[in-house]
Structure 1
Amino acid sequence: MKRRIIEIDREKCNGCGACAEACHEGAIAMVEGKAQLMRDDYCDGLGDCLPACPTGAISFVEREAAAYDEQAVLANKQKKMQEKMRKEGTPLPCGCPGSQSRSIRHTETRQAETAEPVSRLSQWPVQIKLVPVRAPYFDGAKLLIAADCTAYAYAAFHERFIKGHITLVGCPKLDGVDYSEKLTEIIRSNDIQSVTIVRMEVPCCGGLEHAAKTALQQSGKFIPWQVVTISTDGRILD
């Protein structure tokens, strides 16, 4: 199939390895001191590696390439983790929770017995950089796109925002990436029913709002959406 995929210019590559570190799918490795795309089916075409490259050696191209294989990527990650655990002599886990997509179900029993709040998180992972583009929990989902700090600033965040939503969180300032391409693919590839964007009042949070709005526009879908702004002292401003 013909699709968008990365291309690495070996002449421009300085061998720093930043792109290999930034590639969550393990598609890039260092070979003889230069970055190299190891497998087409490990590259999701979203380009998290592009902003990490200091020399501009990575670009997008349209060419014949194997389709992105998420299951193969997850299997490879688990294999590498198991190998690392063996070398370190530590017990092998069943898998890396940071890379394995799963749904979470809660009951009200604990809250009734202890009067403690119940987590409303319904899926894992939640970080925009880690969440898969396609997952069963996206089917018919009400999507929450939230800045990292909002859950700390607003006390009733779980009940007010996470409950009944699929949650994606991130900070464009700290991550140093543009989330719009990945969010576009998530909205375009799944049956998303609505989008709620929760941001802080600080200016840097505008990047998250902009990325979400851009994704909604580029997805080609007409989906109800809203933006909620949280103040630094924990109030809803609008």
Structure 2
Amino acid sequence: MIRKIIEIDQGKCNGCGLCVNACHEGALQLVHGKAVLVSDAYCDGLGDCLPECPTGAIQIIEREAADYNEELVKAKLARKKEKSGCSCPGTMATMIEKIPADHKEQDSGDIGAERPSELRQWPVQLNLLNPQASYLQNADLLIAADCTAYAYASFHEKFMKDRITLIGCPKLDDNDYYTEKITEIIRINHPQSVKVVRMDVPCCSGIVRAVKTAMVQAGISVPYDEVIIDSQGNIL
């Protein structure tokens, strides 16, 4: 049928992502740095995204399009909600109390003595983390590709200390979902800083893209630092 639906001028789109956040039906997505309509069935043609576009790249047109399908939209939003949390007790937001150094049992200088964990909160996996967890408020964030903790021996002391740690794999997980989650974290919590630690393999750059896109979509610039580690455990 012919109906009203949005059209995006890719030449004008600057990839800011503001329209993605404005669309309550989840019909828009950033693909290769440009906003695209995921499916005609998700777009109701009302144009809530139009006022948010700073470049005038979006307009409402009339063309042959599939009917708006509210049931599909509800199912899509439900899947997104499921990803943001589950009933497993292990996903409950928890702040981990650290024992002051002078109260810890002093080791004897034994070369095999265990070093203390610097983990400050639970959970750490981006898929499981609740963006409204209190420990995220004004925090210094460490967002790390999960392989980095295995490659770099002193990961806890060097990177995790005094930071809230979030981990994920941009190759095996849904990096678009990571972008949405990090956008929400930044928008709600206004972090003090973000340190990204990734491997030097090309696929690992996805986590950098997720963080930088999230800052643009949230409209908040956060002091940013990036560390790249190779498979030999060296900081490049």
Aligned partner of 2:204 in structure 1 is 205
Counterpart amino acid of residue 142 in structure 1:
D
Q: Which is bigger in relative contact order (C-alpha 8 A, separation at least 6)?
A: 2
| 1:139 paired to 2:137 | yes
CA distance in 2, matches of 1:133, 1:163: 21
Q: CA deviation at 1:181?
A: 1.2
Q: Which position in structure 2 is the counterpart of 1:220?
A: 219
- Structure-2 separation of matches of 1:212 and 1:36: 26
Q: Say whether residues 1:105 and 2:97 are aligned partners.
A: yes
Task: Name the amino acid aligned to 2:217.
Answer: Q
State the Cα distance separating 1:46 from its structure 2 match. 6.5
Gaps of 5+ in 2: 1-21, 28-38, 42-70
Work out the CA distance in 2 between the residues paired with 1:170 and 1:136: 20
Using the aligned pairs only, state the percent identity: 45
Q: From the superposition, tell whether residues 191 and 150 of structure 1 become closer, same or farther in structure 2 (CA, over 3 Å).
A: same
Whichever residue aligns with residue 145 of structure 1, its letter is: I
Cα distance change of structure 1 residues 44 and 137 upon mapping to structure 2, 3 Å threshold:
farther
CA distance 1:200–1:46, shift in 2 (3 Å): farther
Q: Note the alpha carbon deviations across 1:106-159, whole angstroms, 9 max, x for none.
A: 223456246421000000110111100111101220011000000000011000
Q: Which amino acid aligns with 2:190?
A: D
Larger-Rg structure:
2
* Aligned residue in 2 for 1:234: 233
Over aligned residues, Cα RMSD in angstroms?
3.2
Aligned residues: 167
Q: Secondary structure at the match of 2:207?
A: helix
Normalised by the length of structure 2, the TM-score is: 0.62
Cα contact 2:25–2:73 (8 A) shared by 1: no
Larger mean CA deviation between 151-160 and 211-220 belongs to: 211-220
For residues 12-161 of structure 1, what are the structure 2 equivalents within 5 Å? 37=74, 43=78, 77=87, 96-97=89-90, 99-107=91-99, 108=101, 109-110=103-104, 112-113=106-107, 115-161=113-159
